[in-house]
Amino acid sequence: MGIERTLADRKGRDFCELPKETITNSSKSKKNRRRHKKAPVPPVQTLFETCKDVFVSAAPAVVPPPQDIQNLQSVLDKIKPEDVGLKPDMPYFHTNGSQRRPRITYLHIYECEKFSIGIFCLPPSGVIPLHNHPGMTVLSKILFGTMHIKSYDWVVDFPPETPTTFKPPENGGSEMRLAKVKVDADFIAPCNPSILYPADGGNMHCFTAVTACAVLDVLGPPYSDPDGRHCTYYHNYPFSIFEVEGLSIPEEERCAYEWLQERDDKLEDLEVVGKMYNGPKIVEG
């Protein structure tokens, strides 16, 4: 800025001494510079570049530094539906009478071993059942619409002798594990991106579309079955329906705790289809 001001002062003093052709060439040069001005970087490209920096050392249970998370959150917060080629009137956000349950659409934007970027498109009443994110740091941005989010973290701060798991004899399923409710609320776009971590921040969550909505997700590192990071789904049960010897929680606090049990069914309440992402393309390199 100081250099530009100095040049402007010189031009003011020396204007009468410059030959006519010099003025003309200078004017042409400015026009050429304006003509070759670089196009703005698409926001999704900025998101990609930021993810590369933030998750450069991504590994299970490794959380990026707070400043890096804040930078990524800031970039994600600026992204709008039109930046990723979405409009609320697209077919993804509507249902028809022939569907037993609202179909959810996933738009894959990018994935590598360090991170992934994608968009979940939910019609009204669409549900992504309660699931976990093993060893991951996840940022989610609601691009438009209203979403109900309920999230949990495992209870790990009780005294060592306090039982936080048990196997119910009556249903013959997997063991129950105690979790604390982290969030249980509606979120209306625009709102701040949510962040969950490997051990806190609501690592297990369920999404329910109150209205048609779209959620932009960044996962670092992404799910990987070969690496043991597979997605596990859960049933949730109120704390008070089971009596566990040695476990006591004050009556007024019980609503903040629930029992979670791994699902071993075929998830018939979930239908997710992949579709082509048609927004601005990411340029690697």
Residue 47 covered by a domain? yes
Determine the structural domain holding residue 45 and report its residue range. Answer: 41-274
Q: Is the pLDDT of residue 96 over 80?
A: no
Report yes or no on 10 lying in a domain. no
Please state the pTM of the whole predicted model. 0.83
Portion of the chain with pLDDT greater than 70, in percent: 85
Q: Kindly give, in sequence order, each residue whose CB lies less than 8 Å from that of residue 194, ignoring residues fewer than 6 positions away.
A: 139, 140, 149, 183, 187, 202
Q: Is residue 111 part of a domain?
A: yes
Helix (H) or strand (E) holding 262: strand 257-262
pLDDT of residue 19: 43
Question: Residue length, the chain?
Answer: 285
- Residue 166 maps to which CATH number? 2.60.120.10
Omega before residue 190 within 30° of 0, cis: yes
What distance in Å separates the CA atoms of residue 42 and residue 51, rounded to the nearest whole number? Answer: 14
In a domain, 105, yes or no: yes
32 lies in a domain? no
C-alpha distance across the termini of the chain, in Å: 31
Is residue 28 included in any domain, yes or no?
no
> Is the predicted pLDDT of residue 236 greater than 80, yes or no?
yes
- Residue 15 falls inside a structural domain: no
> Tokens for 270?
């979930």
Domain presence at residue 103: yes
Q: Which residues pair with 165 in a beta bridge?
A: 177
> Mind giving me the DSSP string for 202-252?
-SEEEEEESSSEEEEEEEESPPBTTTTB---BEEEEEGGGS--TT----GG
**CA 166/CA 56 separation, integer angstroms:** 39
pLDDT digits (tens, 9 = 90+) for 55-79: 998 888 899 999 999 999 999 999 9
Per the prediction, the chain carries an average pLDDT of: 87
Number of domains comprising the chain: 1
